[in-house]
Each structure stands twice: as structure tokens, then as C-alpha cells.
Amino acid sequence: MVRASCHCGAVVLDVAEAPREVTDCNCSICRRYGVLWAYYRPEQVEVRADNATNRYLTGERSIAFHRCGTCGCVTHWSASDPARDRMAVNARLMPPDILSRARVRRLDGAVTWRYLD
């Protein structure tokens, strides 16, 4: 198990395993957030937030970005459609030694939605 948490500790995410790779996306929101996404199925992630997150839904409203209501760290995104079997955890909130072992893949989310490697 790997634990990720926001700066103040109000939001904690426990994930089943360390990510082998993370995604650095350059879409209009991800590049502003400066996140690295580690993808999981929702049942692989336990989110403990005690109602501490604020949500932001993007234009298509297909995913909700969550951030800590206290310190502001972007913690994860979840699918608006519960049938979608994918979510992402901000891997920058994981311990540095865990993140250093993951391959970073660059995704062109701004134009082509293809990985650049």
C-alpha cells in the first residue's frame, strides 16, 4: 500500500500499489495544476477526506477534480459517470522515493490526446 496526502493531511489517499508509470498531461487544466497522474480503478483507492475536498468539473463535466478545502492541493480526479472504471491520484502527493521509481509519460492532452513517447 502507498499513502498519498495533501500538505495539511486533511485528505489521505491509500492506493493498492505504487505506480509503475505516471502521466504528465499538457491539457489546459493539468498543466496549470502541475500534477502527475497515477491511474487506478476506484476500488484500488481509499479516499479519506472527511468532506474536506472541493470539486471542480471541467467543460465536458466528465471528470471531477478534487482538492483539499484547507491547503488547496489537487488530490485526485474521479469520473462523473460511475460506470467509468478509472480515476487518478496526484502522484506528486506520494513519498518522493515512490515517485522517483515511476516512469513519467508525457501526454499531449492539449491537441492529439496521444502519448509523446
Q: What angle do CA 23, 108, 61 make, to 5 degrees?
A: 80
The pLDDT tens digits for 57-87 are 987 788 999 999 999 999 999 998 878 899 9
Report the alpha-carbon distance of residue 1 to residue 3 in Å, rounded. 7
For the chain of 117 residues, list the mean pLDDT of each consecutive stretch of 10.
96 97 97 97 93 85 93 95 91 97 97 95
